Structure 1
Amino acid sequence: MNNFAHSTDTPTFETAAMVHRTRRRRATLIAGFAAALIVAGGGTALASMTGASQTSAKPAATVDHSKATFLLGGVTKEPIAVDLTGQDLGTAKGQLVKAKLKLGTVVKVNTPNCKPATVVELTPHTPKIVAKGDTVNVKLCAG
């Protein structure tokens, strides 16, 4: 039995090569995940800025959407239209913060067929393009 146990040579391992290969694979995997997260995160941020995930009800047709929409410039080649029609003040503030804009004056106005305390008009609005740091004034429905 001793002859059998001592007859084979012990295997040799190139530990330096194994460690190098493992580190290279790990670095590639981490870079791939990071790139995927950046792409997914950028798409999510852009979708939320354009209002794709809005869930609140829109007001009746008497509210002019073009007056409650601003064009955000400097993010992509073409300006991005952000429609805040029918959003409450908290949501509108959040969208302005995401767009790196400042909230100006907030005024309540009487507008027919609109939900109270929702956005009916922004200044400046389309077709004017706003850039980061600009001030946007908001008019809310008085009800």
Structure 2
Amino acid sequence: MTSYDDARLSGCTPFEEELTNAMNRFANSAVTPDFDAPQILRRTRRRRTVGIAAVAAALIAAGGGTALATSVASNGGSTPAATGTATDSDATTILYVGSVTIPVDFAGMDLVLAKPLLEKTQTKLGTVTKKAVTGCKPGSIIEVSPHAPATVKKGDAVNFVICTA
């Protein structure tokens, strides 16, 4: 430590000078941290994937599998395929499960994906008719009967119109 007179000449108090010296010693001796950005990114993605899988498993175990399946099916990249007379509401129906109503957008969904949703809600597959509509994916659902705002209850039948393009 220096004397008080020497510190006053430099414009610093003894405490400030000692603090500055301590910070300089630390800055000159500390090891620079090494970050592995790709490793951190992989770990973050892995944790996010495990978290999403855990939430999905919990929803399915708690009986929310229908809600999860409908959100995945409606947001899974399939677009409403109707370009003719069918509208988005023509391919949407409301399924009634217990005391909960769940809107299901069947537009653009394959019949293979729709059948498990009907089984989960204990509704029946009604008539399946085919209709030629240009610009739609063959085999995709373009109309549902009954459609929203009608509610389909346990044991009711749901009718589909499928695109044949």
Give the alignment's TM-score, normalised by structure 2.
0.55
Of structures 1 and 2, the one with the larger relative CO (CA 8 A, separation 6+) is 1
Q: Is it true that 1:73 corresponds to 2:96 in the alignment?
A: yes
CA separation of 1:64 and 1:95: change in aligned 2, threshold 3 A: same
Percent pairwise identity: 38
Name the aligned partner's letter for residue 58 of structure 1: T
1:58 to 79, 98, 114: 79
Q: Which structure 2 segments of 5+ residues have no match? A: 1-56
Q: Which structure 1 segments of 5+ residues have no match? A: 1-36
Partner secondary structure for residue 113 of structure 1: coil
RMSD of aligned residue pairs (Cα, Å): 2.3
Cα displacement (A) at 1:53: 1.4
2:67 corresponds to: 47
Contact map agreement 1:104 1:136 (CA 8 A) in 2: yes
Q: Is it true that 1:109 corresponds to 2:131 in the alignment?
A: yes
Larger radius of gyration: 2
CA separation of 1:106 and 1:41: change in aligned 2, threshold 3 A: same
Query: Which structure carries more helix by proportion?
Result: 2
CA separation of 1:128 and 1:100: change in aligned 2, threshold 3 A: same
Which aligned pairs between 1:87-98 and structure 2 lie closer than 5 A?
Answer: 87-98=109-120
CA separation of 1:39 and 1:52: change in aligned 2, threshold 3 A: closer
More divergent stretch after superposition (130-139 vs 54-63)? 54-63
Cα displacement (A) at 1:127: 1.0
